[in-house]
């Protein structure tokens, strides 16, 4: 069965500093990997996704993530964060073999301080 | 704007009452989903509909029923609400294949007292 572990429940960081939000997954099949962002009182929106090919994927708002198959990780990074990046971030995995379920991690709350 | 529309945005129910959460998408997506979000637990799948005319249970289906009314609409019904169903509910839809990613509605915040 698939599972997703987000290693940090909260990440405080100062504005303009780099940040990494960690995500590990377990799956016995090929997977698709996603990061979503949720701003307060809103639904989730897709930041980026890995389907195949290059292991470094770029998303919206300057975020990028690297797929590491040997480490079964998909960490999200941004070189310089802004106050407006304060939100909750969810890592998710779905079955690349055609299943219809996506499993979400518990979320990481990113808090950017001035 | 194109997207997923959920109603209502907020609801307070008494234990034992019933209600239906409505969801509609205008992106011609085949698949639709209902998730609940609870603090520290991420999103958990309640039910999904891979295509019009089909529905399947997710991780936490007990106490819920769904109807895929047509390609656009997917409703979630609580027959007899319980305090454990206090949560934020999200509807989502996706295009062909799981690699498409989901488009989420803005959520329904439900409190059962």
Mean of pLDDT over chain B? 93
Residue range B21-30: mean pLDDT, rounded: 94
The pLDDT tens digits of the residues spanning B62-100 come to 999 999 999 999 999 999 999 999 999 999 999 876 677
pLDDT score of A68: 93
Dist. CA A24–CA A13, nearest whole Å: 21
Interface test with A, best of B35, B37, B42 (most A CBs within 10 A): B42
Dist. CA B5–CA B91, nearest whole Å: 8
Residue carrying the six token digits 């971030």? A89
Task: Check the CA dihedral A9-A13-A15-A19 and report its sign.
Answer: negative
Residue range B90-113: mean pLDDT, rounded: 89
Per-residue confidence band for B112, with pLDDT thresholds at 50, 70 and 90: very high
pLDDT score of B6: 96
First vs last C-alpha separation in chain B:
35
Dist. CA B93–CA B101, nearest whole Å: 9
- What are the backbone angles phi and psi of residue A5, rounded to the nearest 5°? -120, 120
| Strands A102-104 vs A87-95: parallel, antiparallel or unpaired | antiparallel
Tell if the CB–CB gap between A106 and B45 is shorter than 8 Å.
Answer: no
Q: Cite the beta strand spans of B8-101 per DSSP E.
A: 10-13, 19-25, 31-37, 43-49, 56-57, 64-68, 74-78, 87-94
pLDDT score of A100: 67
Which residue in B33, B48, B98 is closest to A32 by CB distance? B98
Scan residues 64-103 of A and list those with Cβ closer than 8 Å to B. 90, 94-96, 98-102
The pLDDT tens digits of the residues spanning A43-76 come to 999 999 998 888 999 999 999 999 998 999 999 9
Distance from CA of A39 to the nearest CA of B (A): 10
Q: Give Cβ neighbours of residue A68 (< 8 Å, ≥ 6 apart).
A: A55, A74, A75
- CA distances to A54, A109, B85 from A65, rounded to whole Å, are 11, 17, 34
Is residue B61 a contact partner of residue B44, using CB atoms and an 8 Å limit?
Answer: no
Question: Which SS3 state, helix, strand or coil, does residue A54 take?
Answer: coil
pLDDT score of A52: 85
Percent of chain B with pLDDT over 70: 97
pLDDT score of B95: 82
Ranges in chain A, pLDDT < 70: 28, 96-100
């Amino acid at each position: 069965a698939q599972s997703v572990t987000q290693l940090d429940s909260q990440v405080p960081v100062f504005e303009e500093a780099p940040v990494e939000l960690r995500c590990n997954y377990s799956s016995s099949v090929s997977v698709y990997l996603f990061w979503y962002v949720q701003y307060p009182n809103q639904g989730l929106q897709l930041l980026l996704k890995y389907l195949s090919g290059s292991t470094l994927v770029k998303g919206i708002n300057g975020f990028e993530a690297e797929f590491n198959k040997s480490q079964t990780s998909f960490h999200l990074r941004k070189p310089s964060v802004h106050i407006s990046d304060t939100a909750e971030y969810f890592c998710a995995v779905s079955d690349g073999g055609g299943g219809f379920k996506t499993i979400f991690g518990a979320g990481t709350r990113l808090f950017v301080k001035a | 704007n194109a997207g997923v529309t959920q109603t209502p945005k907020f609801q307070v129910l008494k234990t034992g009452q019933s209600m239906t959460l409505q969801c509609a998408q205008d992106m011609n997506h085949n698949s639709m989903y209902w998730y609940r979000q609870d603090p520290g637990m991420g999103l958990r799948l309640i039910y999904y509909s891979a295509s019009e005319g089909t529905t399947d249970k997710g991780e936490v289906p007990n106490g819920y029923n769904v109807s895929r009314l047509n390609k656009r609409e997917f409703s979630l019904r609580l027959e007899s609400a319980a305090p454990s169903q206090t949560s934020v509910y999200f509807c989502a839809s996706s295009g062909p294949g799981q690699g498409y990613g989901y488009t989420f509605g803005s959520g329904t915040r439900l409190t059962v007292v």
